[in-house]
Every structure is written in C-alpha cells, then in structure tokens.
Amino acid sequence: MEYGLCLLFHDHVNSTAVDHTSVSQDAAGIHQLLIKQMSYLENSVRLLTDEVSSLKRNRSKADTEMSNLKQRLESTEQHNQDLKQRLKRTEQQITEMSQISFSPEDMCNRTDNLSQNWNLQEERLKKLESDVGSTVSVTRTLAVNGEKDRNRTSIIEKNVSVLKDELRNVHLYLVQASSKSNEINSTLEWHINDSILKIQKIIDFTNPIGFTAGSTISNSFSGSTLIFNKLVYSIGGGYDTSTGVFTSPVTGVFVFYVAVVSQETTDLFLDIMLNGVAKVRTLSFVPTGTPISQTGTNIAVLHIQSGDRVWIKNHNGGGYRADRGVPIVTFSGFRL
C-alpha cells in the first residue's frame, strides 16, 4: 500500500499532461482511504491494549494465587514433616511398649489405642499427600498458564508496537497526501484563475467599449455638467446623452479625453470627474479684452469598476462654442 501511494502521487505530480480534476479526485479518495485505515488501526491498537491490560490483570491474579498456593504447599509440607515425626515417635513407643511387661488386658487396650492412633495418623498423612499432589498439580498448571500468558502478552505487545509504527506511517502518508492535495489544489486554482484572466481578456478583446459624444448646442449646461447631446459613435454602451454621464458596464482601465473651445472673451475650466472626484482639468484662457476663442484639452487614464460614473464638469467659466453640424466640443472614452 505504501509503495502504491508513493507511485500514485509520483505519477500524478510529475506527469506532463495532468488531468487536474482527476488528480484532485484521486487525492481526495486517497485522503479518505488513509483516514479509514488510520481509524481501523487505532481501533485495533485500542482493542489489543485492552487485551494486554486484561492479560496483565489475569497474570497478576494468577501470580497472587500461585504465591498463596506456594505458602499452602510449604505449610502442608511442614505439617507432613510433623506427622512423620509423630509417626516415628509412635513407632518408638510401640517398640518400647513391646519390651515392657504389661498385663494382657493393658496390652490389648494400649495396642488398640496405638492402632487407632496409627490408623488416624496414617489417614491424615494420606490426605496430606493427596493435598500436596493436588497443590503441586495446580501450581504447575498455573505456572504453565502464566508462562503462556506472558508469551501471549509479549507477542501482543510486539504486535501493538508494530501497529503503532504502521499507524504513524499512515499518519505520515496522510499528512503528505494532504500536502500534495493542497499543492495540487493551489496549482489548479492558479491555472483556473489564469485561465479566467485569459478568457476575460479574450472577452474584452471581442467585446470592446468606447464612445465619442459631441455638443451641437453652445453653452449647454445641466447644472455644472456638460451635456454632449450628439453621440458620434458608441460600442458596448455606457454613455447617456440625456445626462452627459458615462456609466461603466465593466471593470477595467479606460482612457477619457475632452476637447472644448471657449466663447470669445470668456475663460473656461473643465474637469474630468470620476464618482464626484475631479481627476484632470482643462484650461481655455482668454486675455482680457481680446475677442478670441481658446481651445482646452486634457486626457486621463483611469481604472474604474463596473457601475462607476464619469462625466465632464464646469469648474469655472462662461461657456463654450458649438457647431450645429460637426461638433467641435467633444468627450471621448474607451477601454484599453
């Protein structure tokens, strides 16, 4: 699995003709697969850890029970030794009694008592030997089971260690997969944004915006805004001949130009306005008492947003000249 993941990422990242959508889907699938495997491994580690804890508890109980049995065995062996000594003393007493002269009745009574005592001690001895044998058997069984538990615990602890190592490896691959996925997504996002910009440029090129408007009425002002009532040319829309305002239908960089001829003996100052802010100004200055008309021009390159408004404002002056045929006062704009 580890080599498969590495090869998969190697093929996707280093390929010169990457299907970005497929790579992103594969990365997401691998990411989910690794998360599932890590969850499975964590559950396995948790179950094995619980089993190890249970085995350790059982082993502790078994060790305690073995310790108790060993104490009982030692006590039983001591008791056995005492009985043997008592039997030995009884035999000595019988031997001594056999050498002493007693009456037949006393001999019978003593003999009966000794026989009963002997039989009782012999039964106790047999019971003790049976108990000792059982204790030894149980002790051996517990020892064997304890050894098996210790071996199984050792194997499980090794398996837990291996699973933890594999879990760390899966986590590492998951981190690497997430990093690769983020890197691929970043690359895809960059390509998508670049493609959008290129498409936008193509759209802009195929959908130009521009206009030229002129005035055929001298001294035509609506408030302080010049009204260019004749639309000489327009593409893409935006200029309103009734208000004298150009409203941009798109966001972009535009060039605006104004040309004006002042009335005789009258100065004239005009501003190119963007959303109420003056950007550049024209000057048509007439010396005092001189009956001549002066031309004022200016140009502005502006970055404007969709919906921004541009117009020509009369900053100061009396009026301008116009021709009812071909306009001599004009306002033009176009997108770069």
Q: What CATH number should be reported for the domain holding residue 241? A: 2.60.120.40
Name the nearest CA neighbour of 246 among 326, 335, 323. 335
Domain total for the chain? 2
Domain end point (choices 167, 182, 203): 203
Query: Do 49 and 137 fall within a single domain?
Result: yes
pLDDT for position 101? 54
Query: Do 117 and 218 fall within a single domain?
Result: no
pLDDT digits (tens, 9 = 90+) for 231-242: 999 999 999 999
Domain end point (choices 203, 229, 248): 203
Query: Do 214 and 235 fall within a single domain?
Result: yes
Domain end point (choices 166, 187, 203): 203
- For 290, the 3-state DSSP assignment is coil
Query: Do 194 and 314 fall within a single domain?
Result: no
The CATH number for 154's domain is: 1.10.287.950
Query: Do 42 and 141 fall within a single domain?
Result: yes
Give residues with Cβ within 8 angstroms of 211, minimum separation 6.
231, 233, 234, 235, 238, 239, 246, 332, 333, 334
Query: Do 219 and 130 fall within a single domain?
Result: no
> What is the residue range of 299's domain?
210-335
Query: Do 228 and 145 fall within a single domain?
Result: no
CA distance linking residue 2 with residue 25, whole number of Å = 19
Q: Which residue has the tokens 């002790």?
A: 139
CA dihedral over 72, 73, 78, 82, signed as positive or negative: positive
Query: Do 185 and 267 fall within a single domain?
Result: no
Query: Do 214 and 190 fall within a single domain?
Result: no
Query: Do 295 and 199 fall within a single domain?
Result: no
pLDDT tens, per residue, the chain with 336 residues = 444 444 444 444 454 444 556 666 777 888 888 888 888 888 888 888 888 888 888 888 878 887 887 888 788 778 778 878 887 887 787 677 666 655 666 656 766 776 677 677 777 767 777 776 776 676 677 767 767 767 777 787 787 788 788 778 877 877 887 777 788 778 888 888 887 877 776 666 668 999 999 998 877 565 688 989 999 999 999 999 999 999 999 999 999 999 998 887 778 899 999 999 999 999 988 777 677 888 899 999 999 999 999 999 998 877 888 877 889 999 999 999
Query: Do 42 and 59 fall within a single domain?
Result: yes
Query: Do 189 and 300 fall within a single domain?
Result: no
